[in-house]
Structure 1
Amino acid sequence: MARIERLEEEKANIANDIGEVYSEAKSSGFDVKILRKLIAMRKKSKQALAEEDEFLSVYRAAVGL
């Protein structure tokens, strides 16, 4: 149980650190929403990104964008 509590504390500290980095980026003029999307994209495989782009193109065309 103590290990879980320690890990939860570490997780909270890491989340706080990540928040600080995003705050620093925002104060430097970066759009945090876009940065978060880029980070999410980097986690995906090239194939997954290509499929997502293809679906987005199809859906954009379907709704007239």
Structure 2
Amino acid sequence: MNADNFEADDNPAAVGGIAADRLRSIIERVERLEEERKALAGDIKDIFTEAKSAGFDVKVIRQIIRLRKQEPAEVEEQETLLDIYRRALGM
């Protein structure tokens, strides 16, 4: 297969059949979002530090956040199983 068979030869921004501008745009958007995610992770860490300094147990806060993401029926099922397992172990 020679270079004459690529439709992208008519497009100077295309290399090897790939639209370079489109690829660059996609990569740059992902990079921007990764930077935003990094900044948000720092903000979340700051909030947990604030909670800890206010006397809250961060592990428990994380558990509550995880529970709030779940469906109520799922939470109830897990709590029921936890209770059954505790009783089975004499706790």
Q: TM-score range by the shorter chain?
A: over 0.9
Tell me which protein shows more helix as a share of its residues: 1
CA drift of 1:52 comes to 0.4
CA drift of 1:63 comes to 1.4
The runs of at least 4 aligned residues of structure 1 exceeding 4 Å deviation read none
Return 5+ residue gaps in structure 1 as ranges.
none
Q: Which structure has the bigger radius of gyration?
A: 2
Return 5+ residue gaps in structure 2 as ranges.
1-26
Q: Deviations over 1:13-55 (max 9, x none)?
A: 1010000000001111111111111111111111011100111
Tell me which protein shows more strand as a share of its residues: 2
TM-score by length of 1: 0.94
What is residue 46 of structure 1 aligned with on the other side?
72
Which gives a bigger RCO, structure 1 or 2 (Cα 8 Å, sep 6+)?
1
